[in-house]
Amino acid sequence: MGCAFRRPPRLGEARLVDSPPCVSAPPSIVARRGRSFRCLTSPRPRERNRTIYPPRRPFGGPRDNRDFGPRINDRIRISPVRLLDPDGEMVGVVELDEAKRRAYDAGLDLVEISPEARPPVCKIMDFGKFKYEQSKKEKANKAKSKASEMKEVRLGRSMKIDPHDVDIRVAQARRFLIEGHRVQIIQNFRGREMAFRSRGDDRMEDIIQRLADLAKVEVPPRLNGRRMGMILVPEKQKVEVYKRKMIAEGKPVLPTIPEQLEEFHDHDDDDDDDLETDLGGETETPRS
């Protein structure tokens, strides 16, 4: 009978201990790519000691394209540099340490204004003031682009629109022109109104005459499918004259417009069964 006590292996002696095939190894912690994962070995006998790792993330992810602005002071790496003094005068090509020393003595920053040049061009300036002026320019350009954007005024869903509604839309277009916007006037045709397109031309011409004191025609009335449109642009001199006139008379410069524009709603959705189309109070029957 063998002894139940087993002595520990001596130095240099190897001993093989078999574990039951159905018992898996205890879980282990595997650190991979900066994270820790709890991985289990496979319980199958043939793959007992195979460690299962988490799937790898693909390389080459999206790059960080954030713009941190121009490099300043210690962020500038290339030496020598072409240096400009605070007044914009050329100093010449100097070593980077010399340029930093001059900026430090002046109590200002060394800003890299042309990184693509060789050597790069740097200027001694107040970077905080420079950023403030840049933000003001960006805001001014943004406001200018917003002021010159296109505004759209629609003359109802069809030619059957009340004259009062036309007056409201003309006032709205006048307001946009005073604010400096380009205005696109759109007239829609429904059903058999396409047979009376001359009525649309007359309405567009009337609007041009009513807004002639502020704007000029950039794109004349054109028909595109069932939609006729034109574009008006404000004339600065006429707008200034109009503003001075309104102020002298004590009237508001911008016309008052209701919060919700009145709109004509035609509940008849079937246009093909209309035998008659009322345009401007007249009844005309299309030819068969």
Residue 277 has pLDDT above 80, yes or no: no
**Where do the structural domains in the chain lie, given as residue ranges?**
21-53, 73-130, 147-256
Query: 46-104: per-residue pLDDT in tens?
Result: 555 555 555 665 555 555 556 677 888 888 888 899 999 988 889 889 999 999 999 99
On the question of pLDDT at 266 being above 70, the answer is no
Mean pLDDT, the chain, integer? 75
* Per-position DSSP letters for 68-130, written without gaps between them: --S-BGGG---SSEEEE-TTS-EEEEE-HHHHHHHHHHHT-EEEEEETTSSSPEEEEE-HHHH
Number of neighbouring beta carbons within 10 Å of residue 110: 25
Rg over alpha carbons for the chain, rounded to the nearest Å, is 40
Say what the pLDDT of residue 83 is. 92
Per residue in 17-31, pLDDT tens?
A: 444 444 444 444 444
Least confident of 113-122, 162-171, 197-206, 260-269: 260-269
Percent of the chain scoring above 90 in pLDDT: 27
pLDDT the model gives residue 140 = 84
Let me know if 166 is exposed, middle or buried by CB neighbors in 10 A (0-12, 13-18, 19+): middle
Report the pLDDT value the prediction gives residue 88, as an integer from 0 to 100: 85
pLDDT in tens, 127-168: 888 889 888 988 888 777 766 678 999 988 888 888 899 999
Strands of the chain, DSSP E: 28-32, 35-39, 81-84, 90-94, 109-114, 121-125, 150-154, 182-188, 215-224, 227-234, 277-279, 282-284
Distance between CA atoms of residues 224 and 238, nearest Å: 31
Return the number of other C-beta atoms located less than 10 Å from residue 198's C-beta. Answer: 9
CATH architecture of the domain with range 73-130: Roll (3.10)
User: Helix, strand, coil: what percent of the chain each, to 5?
Assistant: 30, 25, 45
On the question of pLDDT at 249 being above 70, the answer is yes
Burial string for 170-196 (b: 16+ CB within 10 Å, else e) reads bbbbbbbbbeebbbbbbbbbbbbbeeb
60 secondary structure, DSSP code: S
Over range 266-275, report the average pLDDT: 40
Domain 147-256 belongs in CATH node 3.10.450.100: no
Using an 8 Å Cβ cutoff, are 145 and 111 in contact? no
Q: What does the pLDDT read at residue 253?
A: 84
Q: pLDDT value at position 45? A: 52
The β-bridge partners of 90 are 84
Banded pLDDT at 5 (limits 50, 70, 90):
low
Residues 216-241 have a mean pLDDT of: 91
Percent of the chain's residues with pLDDT above 70: 65
Stretch 197-204: mean pLDDT: 89
Q: What is the pLDDT of residue 44?
A: 52
